[in-house]
Structure 1
Amino acid sequence: MAITLDTIAELSGGRLSQGADASVRVSAVGINAQELPERGLFAAVPGTRTHGATYARESSAAAILTDAEGERILTDRCELRPFIVVEDVRAILGTVASAVHGHPSHDMTLFGVTGTSGKTTTSYLLEAGLLAAGHSVGVIGTNGTRINGEPVPTQLTTPEAPVLQEVLARMRANGVTHVVMEVSSHAIALGRIVGTEFDVAGFTNLSQDHLDFHDTMEEYFATKARFFRPGSPIRAGRSVICVDDEFGQKLSRLAGPAAVTVSTGSRPASVTVGETEIGAAGLQRFDVRIDGRDITCEVPLPGRFNVANAALALTMAATAGEDPKIVAGGLRDVVVPGRMQNIDRGQDFLAVVDYAHKPAAVSAVLKTLRSQAEGRIGIVLGAGGDRDTAKRPLMGAAAARAADLVVVTDDNPRSEDPGAIRAAMLQGARDAVRERKSAGKKKRVADIREIGSREDAIRAAVEWARAGDAIIIAGKGHETGQLVGDVRHPFDDAECLTRAIDDRLRVEAETEEQA
């Protein structure tokens, strides 16, 4: 599809540069100058260091969309191509990109899942339920993008607005009828979902994270709330909110009486969950009371938080008009890479990989393991560099309060000193141990270790485990690389854990033969 610059100027409220040909048509839009085709529209946005307009000469795009500062740069460089000047490029970029691609979200049913933890798992559960209902489903999220089952890797939970609209258009062209999308707070704050019409928005929970981007928890919450608040230009058509935490309760009040609420506890809500039966390998069976019906769900994921994720996914589908009984039938066999992923090589202890990288998530996964393991609990944990520094001691403390072994290691240090990151986590862990001792809680005091090499840390936990114990490798989950400086080194927690267990089993077998 292609639209004229005149149409774009009208949509964006922008001003065409003097002498610009309003009839010029563009069929693509993007912020990467070098990737745009000749009929593209280069969106020159201000950056943290350099304005995008300085890269205009590297683009073969037919026209440029920019702001007043970008106009000055383009004029000084004698730019001859037409350009449109707007007040804030990012604020209208999604609307423009949607128009260029023929408003793809209008032709599909879109579900947006937001919150701190559980977005990816809820998305997988919703995808499985919609597939069981016979729909063609696309997914956009942390684990990448899938179009009719074909993976299309992405580096952002929610892609930049032009990429998002392009992906949605591709999904539509491939016959996708329903799309499930993780919506991050960055995506909301940076306008990535502007121009996208969501039919149903779902909220999981909120806990400390991304305070390197948001100044306070209040700001973090307010950003999420824009997806649900009446009058917001990005508000979804309908809202489904889990009210298990205080932020969900607050959000349900802001969203208004039309919002559907979900509770897995005693709190009153539109949708409630009954008692949970726990079966083999963490399978959970429970009833969800929705629209006066008790719908039985079976989910092969341990943890009470996954009961909440499943109930939210089921309710979102039902809110969009799906039969919840049919949707529930698709949940039993769902597999979520790196989310409470059980690594079973025949060992006599439980070994799990999970993405938990926030204090509340660390506490939740350890609580889950404690309820399922007969013996001790061990955790391998690190924190990412160039991210929220305040959560590091809190993560260490959460681990030390709930685990018997805490191995502090490297995550993705990025540009930071890995030792400094570990030190902050170790401080929190050791403070928590001292608090337990001073309170007289000496029955279980965590063994705190520091091992910088993530592989060595994982192997140490495997060697530590005895029959009936449980270990969890936390923080990276599905990721297949470790970012040190500007270099991404291949690293997969699940693969590393598998190798460590296999090596231990082989040594044990050889020792037994020699005996």
Structure 2
Amino acid sequence: MMLKDLLKEIAEKKIYGNSNIEITDITSDSRKVKDGSLFVAIKGTNENGHNYIHDAIKKGARALVVENFETISADYSLPIVIVPNSRHALGKLASALNGFPSEFMRLAAVTGTNGKTTITYLMESMIKSANYQSGVIGTISYRYKDKDIPATTTTPGADEIQKLLKKMLNEGITHVVMEVSSHALHQDRVLGCHFDVAIFTNLTAEHLDYHKDEEEYFKSKAKLFLNYMNGNKKKKKLAIINCDDPKGREILEMIKVDALKYGLNFKEDIFFSDIKLSIDGIKGTLNLPKEKIIVDSSLIGEFNALNIMAAVGGAIGMGLSKDAMEKGIKRLKGVPGRLERIDNHLGAYIFVDYAHTSDSLLKVTTTLKRLINGRLITLFGCGGDRDRKKRPIMGKVAVKNSNLTIITSDNPRNEDPKKIISEIEEGIKEEDVEKVDAKEFISTTNNGYLTEVDRRKAIEIALKSVRPSDCLLIAGKGHENYQIIGNKRIPFDDRKVVKEILEEMR
């Protein structure tokens, strides 16, 4: 595509040099520049792309998009485009260069603190049940046709998203579901995407190491509805809002598009008229604006009932039938690392879950506690170089809702894991729970908690403490197949470790 044609997407700009040149690729990563690339220099959280302009030129960049001239050498002969905000420019330019792919498919966005991944899996299952071609961009992987690409981030960069959507479109994908994180919204990574559906799940304190406070976090989430839904090119747009959450009701007052409301506490547009929750799943009748569907799901708990309602709302917006919704819900037997059940010979329930916030840990522990007859044993840790405020809160939540708790390492990154554990313990001090050693933990009939830095050892102690009818929850890492210690990613998958130790215990 000619640079001069590409630049028609940018309203405010200054062009220096010849724009009558062919551009074959676009990137904001100087390492990915190739001959014919348009390099867009972005000021990132940790790095400034303007510092890598020389590297981009050496690798074959044909033109530059920048925010200022300050880091540009006077002897650069290639075209330079000055824009007020290079992040904004990247999404628009990437969409244009890739032929505006989102305009030719049904595209749904899911945002909120918790539930995004499960909702995308549910919607993917419904889309397939309708015999449409599905694509997913999410925390676990980017999936379409026979491709399953491990995700590097929940929501990729703007240039990567548009390339991925184009590939999906070229492969015949008709319906795409995307997890949209608060980081992605704050950084305008989905600029250039035209959504048919936007889903809001909930909002609880999270990512406060990145966002200044909860209000800034909410504003980032709300951008999906205020900026991307109110102003995109799709003719029919639908917002799906959880009205059990006060922030959901705030969003409803802001938006200018049609909306469907859902919740367990209100009889809104989407609600259960009867529901039965058990350790084996969710059954009930779900009322929709024009019909009812029968829900028979292997997913567990009230929070998954909400996820089902959100996914059904999304399916309505994507034009799916009642039959596709019912079949899709029933066919999804589980989601990787989301209350993922591990078969065992101990006569116990063992789950691996991604719960890594105080709210998600509260929901999953209270859900399991209500559904089981035996004891609840919870194992978790907190990530390093992340929001420290949640650590004592998570400690308190765990011991209040569990019979036994093991505090261990999550991804300590560049922090001392012992210090992270001690900060978690601060929240336990006001609770009447005794700290015990490993031997006592395995044999005790009382409530208690244990600290063990080594996550594998912690899982082994937990498994050895399990009795028939007990429930063991291993929380925090879910689908992750690594542990970050320092700057290294070490292979570690809770699910594999559990299975290995169970085999050793036979």
Pair in the same fold by TM > 0.5: yes
TM-score range, shorter chain: over 0.9
- The residue that corresponds to 2:185 in the other structure is 188
How far is the alpha carbon of 1:123 from its aligned partner?
Answer: 0.5
Matched AA of 2:285: D
Cα displacement string for residues 296-339 of structure 1 (whole angstroms, at most 9, x for unaligned residues): 01111111111110111011111232212322211113121000
Q: Which moved more, 1:320-329 or 1:207-216?
A: 320-329
Q: Which consecutive unaligned segments of at least 5 residues does structure 1 have?
A: 436-443, 507-515
- The residue that corresponds to 1:440 in the other structure is none
- The residue that corresponds to 2:112 in the other structure is 115
Matched AA of 2:7: A
From the superposition, tell whether residues 364 and 143 of structure 1 become closer, same or farther in structure 2 (CA, over 3 Å).
same
Alignment partner of 1:62 is 2:68: no
- The residue that corresponds to 2:351 in the other structure is 352
Distance 1:256 1:431 in 2: 47
Q: Which moved more, 1:202-211 or 1:9-18?
A: 9-18
- Tell me the matched-pair count: 489
- The residue that corresponds to 2:455 in the other structure is 454
How far is the alpha carbon of 1:16 from its aligned partner?
Answer: 4.5
Alignment partner of 1:23 is 2:20: yes
Matched AA of 2:449: I
- The residue that corresponds to 2:73 in the other structure is 75
- The residue that corresponds to 1:7 in the other structure is 5
Out of 279, 282, 289, which is 1:291 matched to?
289
Alignment partner of 1:380 is 2:379: yes
Matched AA of 1:400: V
RMSD: 2.0
From the superposition, tell whether residues 216 and 468 of structure 1 become closer, same or farther in structure 2 (CA, over 3 Å).
same
Residue identity over aligned pairs, in percent, reads 32
How far is the alpha carbon of 1:503 from its aligned partner?
Answer: 2.1
Cα displacement string for residues 124-181 of structure 1 (whole angstroms, at most 9, x for unaligned residues): 0000011000110000000010121411122110000000000000000111000010
Q: TM-score, normalised by structure 2?
A: 0.93
- The residue that corresponds to 1:258 in the other structure is 258
Cα displacement string for residues 21-69 of structure 1 (whole angstroms, at most 9, x for unaligned residues): 111121211111121221111111123455312222222121111111x
- Work out whether residues 277 and 302 of structure 2, in 8 Å CA contact, stay in contact via their aligned partners in 1: no
- Work out whether residues 194 and 234 of structure 1, in 8 Å CA contact, stay in contact via their aligned partners in 2: no
Cα displacement string for residues 436-488 of structure 1 (whole angstroms, at most 9, x for unaligned residues): xxxxxxxx974121100111111111111111110100000000000111100
> Could you say what secondary structure the match of 2:426 adopts?
helix
> Could you say what secondary structure the match of 2:26 adopts?
strand
How far is the alpha carbon of 1:365 from its aligned partner?
Answer: 0.6
- Work out whether residues 287 and 296 of structure 1, in 8 Å CA contact, stay in contact via their aligned partners in 2: yes
Distance 2:156 2:233 in 1: 18
- The residue that corresponds to 1:481 in the other structure is 482
- The residue that corresponds to 1:337 in the other structure is 336
Matched AA of 1:275: D
> Could you say what secondary structure the match of 2:490 adopts?
strand
- The residue that corresponds to 2:439 in the other structure is none
Out of 225, 233, 236, which is 2:222 matched to?
225
Q: Which consecutive unaligned segments of at least 5 residues does structure 2 have?
A: 435-444
Q: TM-score, normalised by structure 1?
A: 0.91
How far is the alpha carbon of 1:197 from its aligned partner?
Answer: 0.3
Alignment partner of 1:363 is 2:362: yes
Matched AA of 1:452: V
Distance 2:45 2:471 in 1: 44
Distance 2:84 2:45 in 1: 17
Matched AA of 2:473: I
Please list, as runs of the form range in 1=range in 2, the aligned pairs for 1:254-333 lying within 5 A after superposition.
254-255=254-255, 258-265=258-265, 267-278=266-277, 282-333=280-331
Distance 2:431 2:66 in 1: 51
- The residue that corresponds to 2:240 in the other structure is 240
- The residue that corresponds to 2:441 in the other structure is none
> Could you say what secondary structure the match of 1:424 adopts?
helix
Distance 1:116 1:51 in 2: 28
Alignment partner of 1:143 is 2:140: yes
Cα displacement string for residues 261-291 of structure 1 (whole angstroms, at most 9, x for unaligned residues): 01123x1311111332245x52211111002
Q: Which moved more, 1:281-290 or 1:90-99?
A: 281-290
